[in-house]
Structure 1
Amino acid sequence: MGNTEKLLNQIMDLKFTSKSLQRQARKCEKEEKSEKLKVKKVNYLRLSSRLDAVVARLDTQAKMTTINKSMANIVKSLESSLATEKLKWLLEVRGMGIRGDPWVSRGAGTGTNFPPRAGSGAGRGEICGARGGAGITLPANSPPRCHP
């Protein structure tokens, strides 16, 4: 009888162990499901960030396309403007040969062929600026010293 009691005790212990293993298996399944959900969440977040990056690139590309089209229109208008200005310039240059050179006649005897700078506000022979000393005059044939 001692062997039978030991055998029954072992059977009962094995049944309890089996039940506890089944509980642990269910618990692990729940944990596994929660882990899978976490992994899915992380994967969705990764996908979302990738899509955001693609959208940003597409937006940048669309803006660059718009800018390129605008620049192309600007270049076309500048080219046409340049062509008309070139014609005007050629007509002026051809006309200068007949009338004479206005740059030379304006600065005759000064040693330079450049007109005085616009916006200098000073007379031909005066030195500009507070430190230059107002009222000091230079010879009429000296180049202007004023810089805007």
Structure 2
Amino acid sequence: MGHSYTSRIVWTGNRGDGTATYRGYDRTWDIAVPGKTVIPCSNDPLLGGDPGKMNPEDLLLSALSACHMLWYLHYAADAGIGVLAYEDEPEGVGEAGPGGAGRFVSATLRPRITVRAGADLEKAQAIHGRIHEVCFIARSVNFPVSCEGVFTVEGAG
């Protein structure tokens, strides 16, 4: 069974003359999916983009991390592991080839997960290894994704 996803991208970078010159327009746009919050975006700051706006690389890395998190929470609930907090600061490594063509070569997820006292930490850690078998985003990328999860136990410390 297939799934269909849609998005709406609206270029916002016309300064008045469109693309009459290479430096005469902004590389900005909105993700404006009807019924959802608009996300203002720009290209990578290394290419002159606005560092205060999301860029495609940010969005891909965030989607990868969020997909992992959602599956982690699902599997933890199934295993009886009480997750109380979850946050991640993933890192993607990219490279640029001749002519400026770039790509991700790897990503590392670094979730920090707080679990309820008494949780089986070995079982909690093992869940990470199962996720890339099912995560839609991780299964869709062509670069390796690793996970370095760290756990905190509620009330420990």
Shorter-chain TM-score category? under 0.3
Task: Give TM-score, length-normalised by structure 2.
Answer: 0.24
* Higher relative contact order, structure no. (Cα contacts within 8 Å, ≥ 6 residues apart): 2
TM-score by length of 1: 0.25
Could you say which structure has the larger radius of gyration? 1
Q: Judging by fraction of residues, say which structure has more strand.
A: 2
